[in-house]
């Protein structure tokens, strides 16, 4: 680049060009942000609709209750008659 000092008019023109460029870039950036925001809102709306539909279906058709496995049979409970026999035997 040139190392020569520029005149005041040239400096003013450079500043104006830089300012215009920044304004254009700022407008483009804001448009991109707005477009991304719209896309996010659409995705959120779709996902919310899917979730609500699933919740409504779950309420309409509750899942079958799970069948619990039966516990293994424990030793038979002692009855009064059995304890009486055992007491008489001793």
The structural domains of the chain, with segments of one domain joined by +, span 1-63
| Main-chain phi, psi angles of 40, to 5 degrees | -65, -45
- pLDDT band for position 74 (50/70/90)? low
- C-alpha 30/C-alpha 23 separation (Å) is 11
Looking at residue 4, its pLDDT comes to 76
- C-alpha 35/C-alpha 41 separation (Å) is 10
- pLDDT band for position 64 (50/70/90)? confident
Q: Which residue has the higher pLDDT, 61 or 5?
A: 61
């Amino acid at each position: 680049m040139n190392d020569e000092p520029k005149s005041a008019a040239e400096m003013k023109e450079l500043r104006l060009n830089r300012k215009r460029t920044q304004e254009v870039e700022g407008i483009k950036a804001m448009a991109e942000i707005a477009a991304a925001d719209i896309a996010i809102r659409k995705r959120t709306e779709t996902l919310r609709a899917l979730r609500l539909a699933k919740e409504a279906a779950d309420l309409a058709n509750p899942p079958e209750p799970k069948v619990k496995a039966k516990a293994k049979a424990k030793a038979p409970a002692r009855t009064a008659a059995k304890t009486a026999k055992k007491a008489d035997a001793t």
